[in-house]
Amino acid sequence: MGIFGRRKKEAADRVDGSGDAELQAMRDAAAQAYTAGDYPVAVQLLRILMDAGDTGVAPLLGSALGLMGNSDGAEEVLRESSADGDFRATYALVGLLQRKPGAALGTEEQWDLLGVATTHLHNEVRPLVDAGRLAEAEALLRIGADAGDPVAQESLAKVLMQRDGYNPEVAGEAKVWLERAIAAGMRDAAETLEAVEEVLRSNGR
């Protein structure tokens, strides 16, 4: 039995509510298996975690299933977690639907899913911003921005500027996100872009 097999058995034996440390050990083992390309082991570990209520691993489980050629299984996992309000799973589901052979981009379903993901994402981000926990808010918004959500892209740009907008490198990144959001139809982001460009001009950029 290899290292991942041993870890899987040990984690499965302990996943009876014995503590967060054990669950974290299983997450780490699953991530290592995934990174090593051992997707069957990763899937087994991630399913145990899902059964234990750790739905946050759904995007990784969906990805592993997809890489194993089980796109239907991946979609089922992501849809279930998306329905439970996991915005990470919803973004992953949109990506999966877009990558399907012959799939069209920007379908009504995809936009509806993005809208759901945006709502759940900002429900988590808003309290962080209000509490001044901008680094945490930024990390969450990057998930949506990287998934192509124009609302998240604009929000990320605003958080970047709020965190360190007078840093030309940060302002430059904010400009890129705003340009992407505008290109995707977020015309209201143009006003924020003008403010960012003014900061860049004042820094000689």
Domains and CATH numbers, the chain: 1-84 (1.25.40), 106-205 (1.25.40.10)
> What pLDDT is stored for residue 103 in this prediction?
77
pLDDT tens-digit series, residues 139-192: 999 999 999 999 999 999 999 999 998 899 999 999 999 999 999 999 999 999
Q: What 3-state DSSP class applies to 11?
A: helix
Q: Do residues 12 and 52 touch, judged by C-beta distance below 8 A?
A: no
Q: Which residues make Cβ contacts (< 8 Å) with residue 90, sequence separation at least 6?
A: 78, 82, 113, 114, 116, 117, 120
> What pLDDT is stored for residue 19 in this prediction?
63
Query: Model confidence at 5, in pLDDT bands (50, 70, 90)?
Result: very low
To the nearest 10 degrees (0 to 180), the angle between helices 58-67 and 39-51 is 150
| Reported pTM | 0.78
Q: Do residues 143 and 121 touch, judged by C-beta distance below 8 A?
A: yes
Percent of the chain with pLDDT over 90: 74
Does the structure show a pLDDT above 90 at 59?
yes
